[in-house]
Structure formats: C-alpha cells, structure tokens
Amino acid sequence: MALHGGEVSDTRLTTDNPESRRAVKKPSSFTAAPALAEPSTHPIFSLMHWLGLAELLILALLADGLFRKLGVPGLIGMLLVGVVLGASGLNALDPKLLAMSGDMRQMALIVILLRVGFGLNLQTLRSVGKRVLLLAWVPAACEGLTVTIVAQPLLGLSLLEAGLLGSVIAAVSPAVVVPLMLRLIEEKRGTQKAIPQMVMAAASLDDIAVIVANGILLGLLVETSSSFTGNIVGLPIGLALGAAVGVFLGWLLLKGFERFQPNANRQVLLILGMALLLLRLQGQINGLVPFTGLVSAIAIGVTILELSENTAHAIARKLASIWVFAELLLFVLVGAQLNLDVALKSGLAGFAVLAIGLVVRAAATWTCLSGSTLTAGEKCFVTAAYIPKATVQAAIGAVPLMTMQAAGLSTQPGEVILAVAVLSIITTAPLGAWLSSWLASKVLKPDVPELQNAETTC
C-alpha cells in the first residue's frame, strides 16, 4: 500500500465477491504489516536514512517525559512521535522496524493480558460481588453496540466493519486506570467500599471481553456468512477450553518453578513465550477446535496468583518492566501507521461517534451502580475512571487494517477504524486521567478511622 497525493492506493485490492472470500485462509489475529511507503527524499534525511530502534526509543522516552511534565499522559507523546516519523509525516522510520509492528503489537497485547491475570485476585472479585461483573460487561456492551449503530451512517462502514470499530473502542485503558487505582489503594482512599479494587477488577474483565469479541469479528471478516453460527456456538467452548488450558499450564509452570527454582527473569520469559505460543496455537487450530489463547494467558496469571502470591508478585514486577519497553514501541508504531488524510476526513464524524458512545457508556455505568452504597460523587468517580482509552486501542486498532490487507479486501474501512482508534486515545486518555484523578481527590476520602480512634484514645 502506498500514499499518492493523499489518496490510498492498494495494488492488492480485489473484489468483495463472496467467492473470493471463501478462497482466503482465515488469518490469525495478527498478520503481516501493510506494504511500506517509499522512503522520504527530503535532504534532511540524506545522512540518516533510516531512523532505527535506538533513535525511536530515545525520541519516545523524551516525548513521554515532556508530556508527563505537562500533566498529559506520556503515551500521547509517544503516539505523536510515531505520527511525525511515520508515512503520513516525515516517513523516516526504518522499514525493517515497521515490518515488525505486527509482532511487537502481539507481544504488547500478551504483556497486557498477563499483567491483567497477575493482578486479578479472585478473593477481591468475590468481595466486591456481582457489581464487578455488571461493570465489566454492561458498559462495554452498550458502548460497543452504540458505536456499531452510529458508525454505519456517520463513517460509511458496513455492519461488520462498524462492529469491529465498536469492539476496538469499547475497552478501558489499563495503562491509565490501573496506576491510579493502585495509588488510591496505597493512600487508602475509597478502600472501605473497595472502590479502587472494584474499578481495577472490572476494567480487567472489560478488556478481556472486548479483546475476545474483536477476535471473533476479525474471523467473520474474511469468512462466509454460513460460518457465523459455528463461531457463535463455538464461543463458549473456546472460552472454557482456553481457561482450562491456562489453569493447567499455570499449575504446571508453578510446579516447575518450585522444583527447579529459576530466577524471576527466567520465569517471566518462560511465561511470556508460553503465552505467545498459545496465541499462535489459537490461529492454527481454530478451524478444527474452538480455542481462545487470550483467555489462556490470563488464566495462567490468575492461577499462579491464587497458588503462590509471592511468586506472582515477583513475576508481575518483571512484567511491569517489560511493559515499559513494549509500551514505547506499541504507541510509536501505531502512530506511524496512521493515515492522516483519512484521520482528517473522518475527524468530526469520528469524534461524534466517540462522544455518543461515551455518553451511553456513562449512563450504563451509572445504572450498574444504582442501588449500591456509593455516594453520587463516588459514582461520578467510577464513571470518569471508565473514560480513558489507550492501551487496548493501540494493541488492536490496526489489526483490522492488516487483516483486510492480507485478505485482499478494501483497506479503506481499516484506515477509518485505525484513525478513530487513535482519535479515541488522543481525546479520552488525557481527559479521563485528569478527571478521574481530580474527582478522586475530591470525593474519595482517606479511610483511617481505626488510626484516628487509636490516636484519640492515647
């Protein structure tokens, strides 16, 4: 695919005839990256074609630090570095680096899911009860369905393409939500009602649901309508089988760690490699046996956390370190794939789609909290905490585009989906981070009644 005068041309574009779709092998969730644009001939790059991994990391880190100083999430700076250096900007990135974007996105997604699993305490889930399940499924489903409906007339997408956009947009960003919730737990703000724990657990389950739904819709994108029933019937089987395999592997890995006692670095690398293999296995056997490798990755973390908290916490710290590197590449490479012409054309309509979806999500979140012991201010905080979008959108936002490219379908809908995904990051990440942090300081008071009573007694 190349850009000529702001228009997208794709020499691999073929007909949308159902017969041609039947001939296409169903791709995995991650496929080869789109064809790369020709290098820039601007004189400023004559001595430094191309910018490689070293330059990319330095620039991304500088942008991250600068935006954090300005009070804006650093991931916005990483994203803008990618836009400036990508094909729609200076086109200065090494093509070999761009060719790795699919693999890097896959690794980043696995790291996200493993961190979710290693932070998903079943005891906490049981303590906050059914409201976590409501917050995990209802707001995301309402927002996803709303985006699916309004994106068709506003963005000119088909029902399936709009559904893909809805599945990309509906997730909450763990990169924004989790650090704030952990800080609130340390400060003991809202912990008497388990508000930070509830938001963190619900956001984790929310991401699982959205990512699984996105994978199913990607499969339907290149298959005939006759396979729809089979995918729906196989969904619960795939989820159950994926969870069972993850639980077994988590138990097996923990037994191996106890027997051979490798250090935490080797443990996390083994788990990461195992999770990547499960994701590859998902793409290879799904035509024969329904299987969801994404759920397996989460189940591995949950199982190890339940059986050995000390081991799980050590692995979680290593995963947090790996995420620093994965996050840099993820957001820069997503920005580099953005087509600015498509983003500008769909900007106002895309913003309208996002705004309508967020309003419906906020209403659904508030409804889920009705009847609880939370005050109106605390409900506002939970609603605001559900606004930020970043990590999942960066991880899966470009996958529809790459899948369409590999399947020989028109890439225009994929460009629109990616553009709206990037727009959602730029608009909601700083807004949600600021608003939820501000509300937390106003409505979540420190929970220290026992300490105060002890001091009074003394």
Token pair in block for residue 194: 């388990």
Phi, psi of 8 (to 5 degrees): -95, 125
pLDDT, position 225: 46
- pLDDT tens digits, 361-391: 999 999 999 888 899 999 999 999 999 998 8
Helix H or strand E segment including 278:
helix 264-285
Contact 49, 39 (CB under 8 A): yes
Q: How far is CA 374 from the centre of its chain?
A: 28
pLDDT, position 36: 43
Q: Between 239 and 157, where is the model more confident?
A: 157
- Residues 415, 418, 424: CA angle, nearest 5 degrees: 140
Runs of H (alpha helix) within 6-121: 18-22, 53-69, 74-85, 95-99, 101-118
- pLDDT tens digits, 22-34: 344 444 444 444 4
Average pLDDT score over residue span 304-309: 94
Token pair in block for residue 447: 């929970």
Percent of the chain exceeding pLDDT 90 equals 35
- Determine the topology of domain 51-445 in CATH: Na+/H+ antiporter like fold (1.20.1530)
> DSSP character for 385?
H
pLDDT, position 283: 75
Least confident of 8-17, 70-79, 122-131, 413-422: 8-17
- pLDDT tens digits, 163-189: 999 999 999 987 788 788 878 888 888
Q: Which residue has the tokens 């106003």?
A: 442
Contact 360, 142 (CB under 8 A): yes
pLDDT band, residue 235 (cuts 50/70/90): confident
Residue 11, pLDDT above cutoff 60: no
- pLDDT tens digits, 53-62: 888 889 999 9
Q: How far is CA 134 from the centre of its chain?
A: 20
Q: How far is CA 114 from the centre of its chain?
A: 12
pLDDT band, residue 234 (cuts 50/70/90): confident
Q: Between 451 and 406, where is the model more confident?
A: 406
pLDDT band, residue 37 (cuts 50/70/90): very low
> DSSP character for 33?
P
- pLDDT tens digits, 64-77: 999 989 888 888 89
pLDDT, position 179: 80
Token pair in block for residue 195: 């508000």
pLDDT band, residue 218 (cuts 50/70/90): confident
Contact 88, 3 (CB under 8 A): yes
Contact 118, 200 (CB under 8 A): no
User: Which stretches does DSSP call E strand in 177-273?
Assistant: none
Average pLDDT score over residue span 145-168: 95
Q: How far apart are CA 168 and CA 326, in angstroms?
A: 19
- pLDDT tens digits, 323-332: 888 888 888 8
Token pair in block for residue 23: 């001939």
